[in-house]
Amino acid sequence: MPQDHDPTSTPDEHPAPDGAIQPILDAPLRNFLTERRAAGRAARKRRPRSDFAGWAPAAHRPDPVAVLESQIPSRLQQLIPERHRRMLESAFAFYRGGAAIMAADLGALPNTGLEVQLCGDAHLANFGLFGSPERALVFDLNDFDETHPGPWEWDVVRLAVSALLLGRDRGWDDEVQHGLVVATVASYRTAMRSFAQMRNIDIWYSMMRVEQMASQVEDLRSRRRLERTVAKARANDTRRAVEKFTEVVGDRRFFRHQPPTMYRLDEFYGPSHRDQIKHQIYQLFGAYVDSLSPELQHLAPMYQLRDEALKVVGVGSVGTRCYVALARGRDENDLMILQIKEAQESVLAPYWTSPPMDNEGERVVNGQRLMQAASDPFLGFARIDPHDFYVRQFRDMKGSADLTRIRRQAAGDYLRNCGWTLARAHARSGDSVAIASYLGSTDRFDRAMVEFCRDYADQVQVDYEAFEAAANSGRIEVAPTPAV
């Protein structure tokens, strides 16, 4: 069996002579690489890589339906049936909405202790294209509602299981499913080995541009589909969003009432409560501006809020308070849509301690800025008592893969991009040398993860069937399927 090779086996630094300038913060001189490599090897004792070869539920595993029910009181009650409807579409959709279930399962396991800033919900549908501040189109993580510090493997496991579930959802055989898991995990492992040998500043500036993605696609049909996705993302800018989601009534522009995805405030809350919500959003906007960088604090007040609506997004987020605000700049040709999304406590918070935050929106913003290569400059946070929110641009050059039609070869390419991107995000906040040392250079961890993902995907199916039974018995309320 091949032996793991240490990816950071570069010549050790020579000790500085007496009287040399001390390093930053007057830290004692020591061989940092040696200690970081040793930390990775020590993590193998806490959580051997062989431990990932399979999964079984804990003896007192909580009822998965009860876990989801525990989230209901904090959400808008009118939207809970819609959340349940979306989660019932498939086992894969159920998995997307059940981040809290998996968090409890991962929290019950031993862990490596190698902490990074986690996405917290790193399934494959939470990656995509968006425009950088320089207007380049990049591929990155795009959902940080559950971001929280924690052991790196929690994100990797969530991503790898979603890869196998994608294969099952598309009807592909076991060999293809296992290949998707290996593609994902091997990409993460080899990328982390690469980051472990890079300068810190080079890691920080690493990003995946669409040009890099295109150069890696060999299959002609997959390349053409990627080109269509890229073209759609480039066209999916603010002007397109304004055309799609708003209309002119009289001499003013308003959001369209398009249930179950978009609701005018008076239609959802009623006229009296609508005015209260509008007033709270205006108050929030002022506090939000204060959270921006100084130059954006100058730019943002140049926009005036013109209309607001309730926007239903995602699967797991359905029921949280999410608004969109139409902002007008110089004139009617200078419009922008901001998304104002509620941030609740991360599902990982009960299982990993971290410094307390005054605002859960600040947690999301800080986590996103730490993990993403290029974040939205309008990203900020504020509070409408007692609810915390974060704010960002809505639909700014955003694009995503059509996972319901993706082909096998394209799925492998896509998941390799996800693995690389997740490794890059973790390397920005965590110890890439220690994580790479833990993973090693062979496929030992990759093969173990295949078994874990297979077993956990079986559990997802069991949980999904329990969720279906709860719907059929009337235990949970489900919205009717909207008319096409």
What would the pLDDT profile of 417-461 be if each residue is shown by its tens digit? 999 999 999 999 999 999 999 999 999 999 999 999 999 999 999
Residue 22 pLDDT more than 50? no
Q: Over pLDDT 70: what percentage of the chain?
A: 90
Mean pLDDT in residue range 50-73? 95
Ramachandran region, residue 282 (left: φ > 0; alpha: ψ -120 to 50; beta: rest): alpha
Distance CA 93, CA 114 (A): 30
- Structure confidence at residue 239 as a pLDDT band (50, 70, 90): confident
Q: Would you state the pLDDT for residue 282?
A: 92
Taking Cα atoms as reference points, which of 417, 372, 419, 410 lies closest to residue 213? 417
What would the pLDDT profile of 466-483 be if each residue is shown by its tens digit? 999 999 999 999 999 887
Q: Would you state the pLDDT for residue 449?
A: 97
Lowest mean pLDDT among 77-81, 231-235, 386-390: 231-235
What would the pLDDT profile of 359-384 be if each residue is shown by its tens digit? 999 999 999 999 998 888 999 999 98
What would the pLDDT profile of 248-288 be if each residue is shown by its tens digit? 998 899 999 999 999 999 999 998 889 999 999 999 999 99
What DSSP string runs through 452-479?
A: HHHHHHHHHHHHHHHHHHHHHHTSS--P
Average pLDDT value for the chain: 90
Q: Would you state the pLDDT for residue 46?
A: 94
Residue 49 pLDDT more than 50? yes
Mean pLDDT in residue range 314-340? 93
Q: Is the peptide bond before 62 cis (omega within 30 degrees of 0)?
A: no
Q: What size, in residues, is the chain? A: 484
pTM of the model: 0.90
Locate tokens 């600040």: which residue? 362
What would the pLDDT profile of 191-220 be if each residue is shown by its tens digit? 999 999 999 999 999 998 877 777 676 666
Q: Would you state the pLDDT for residue 19?
A: 42
Distance CA 45, CA 15 (A): 30
Give just the sign of the alpha carbon dihedral 482, 98, 127, 163. Answer: negative
Distance CA 140, CA 124 (A): 11
What would the pLDDT profile of 113-166 be if each residue is shown by its tens digit? 999 999 999 999 999 888 776 777 889 999 999 999 999 999 999 999 999 999
Q: Would you state the pLDDT for residue 453?
A: 98
